[in-house]
Amino acid sequence: MIFGSHVSIRDGYLGAAKRAVANGASAFQYFPKNPRSLSVKDFDRGDANSCKSFCFERNMVSVAHTPYSTSLTPSKDKQELTIASLVNDLEIADACGSIGVVVHFGSQISKTDPLASYHLMLEMLNSVLSDWNGDCLLLIENNAGTKGALGTTFEELVQIRNLCDYPEKIGFCLDTCHAFASGLWNGENTEEFFKKGEELAYFDHLKIIHLNNSKYPTGSKKDRHANIFGNGYIKESQMEMFVKSPLLEEIPFVLETPDDEGISHKEEIRQLFDKWGE
């Protein structure tokens, strides 16, 4: 099993990888640049290369996450900026040897034209990926359903990838809190959930799991992550059935849980290995 967490890059990319090792992780996620800005970062290639070799030697998997304000359905004035930012994220992640860059599915932009958001997403994806020839994939993450409930079903995720001009450059990131909050996975339908995803070939392109519990019940559409073995609404037995699915055997699980609510990521990663490591 591959377990890890989101880590800070305050000591650079190599520093982030070292922090993950110190936490006992075998995978990690990081922001390739300031998560509060979409501006293009002139990054330190030497540091990124050191991160890449360090991870390669230790079999450590890494993945980048786009800044908070990145949207695949941005307003007109933000489109150029977003495309440049996404290409920049891919360049940094590729230099660090990461498997991909996680980006959230878009949100609803028109109440009268339900297809407008999907059209814009495809335009954005095509613009970003037309010039991208690195190994790093763009990994589309399922939504919790907060803004217009877009990107909450397997059908949409699979279809957006298929309709893009460059499906081979796209993979998926599955967030367990978002899946639970949206109702895609309600804790009780685990078998059907995996069966449906498998039928639609979703799991063929799944590259990473965001392993999070949920502070709100299933169907709440609220994106609030909780610690795995704390007071979240996903029961341990439900989480176990999910994590132990044979379909996820090779997939890295990365925590995006609170690090300051009674348990550190280091301790939480140890719990994961103790319970489900074999």
Q: Which residues bind Zn ion (CB under 5 A)?
A: 175, 210, 256
Shortest gap between Cβ of 150 and Zn ion (angstroms)?
A: 16
**Nearest distance, CB of residue 174 and Zn ion, angstroms:** 9
Q: Which is nearer to Zn ion, 14 or 177 (CB)?
A: 177
- Closest-by-Cβ residue to Zn ion is 210
Residue with smaller CB distance to Zn ion, 89 or 256: 256
Based on CB atoms, which residue is closest to Zn ion, 50 or 182?
182
Choice between 33 and 225, CB closer to Zn ion: 225
Buried b (16+ CB within 10 A) or exposed e, 126-156: ebbbeebeeebbbbbbbbbbbbbbbbbbbeb
Query: Considering beta carbons, is residue 48 or 138 the nearer one to Zn ion?
Result: 138
For the CB of residue 80, give the shortest distance to Zn ion in the complex, in Å: 26
Q: How many CB atoms lie within 10 A of CB 231?
A: 10
Report the chain's terminal Cα–Cα distance, integer Å.
7
The minimum distance between CB 245 and Zn ion, in angstroms, equals 18
Neighbouring residues of 89: CB distance < 8 A, sequence distance ≥ 6: 32, 33, 64, 66, 67, 70, 101
The CA distance from 50 to 118, in Å, is: 38
Nearer to Zn ion, 119 or 224 (CB): 224
Using the structure block, give the residue that is written with the tokens 């279809």. 159
Nearest distance in Å: CB 115, Zn ion: 26
Question: Minimum distance between the CB of residue 57 and Zn ion, rounded to whole angstroms?
Answer: 28
The CA–CA distances, whole Å, from 259 to 116, 156, 195, 227, 268 equal 38, 32, 33, 8, 9
Q: Taking the CB of residue 42, how many other CB atoms lie within 10 A of it? A: 8
Q: How far is the CB of 211 from Zn ion (least distance, A)?
A: 9
Q: Backbone phi, then psi, for 245, in 5-degree steps?
A: -60, 130
Q: Contact at 8 Å (CB) between 117 and 73? A: yes
- 14 or 61: CB nearest Zn ion: 61
Per-residue b or e along 3-35, where b marks 16 or more CB atoms closer than 10 Å to that residue's CB: bbbbbebeebbbbbbbbbeebebbbbbbbbbee
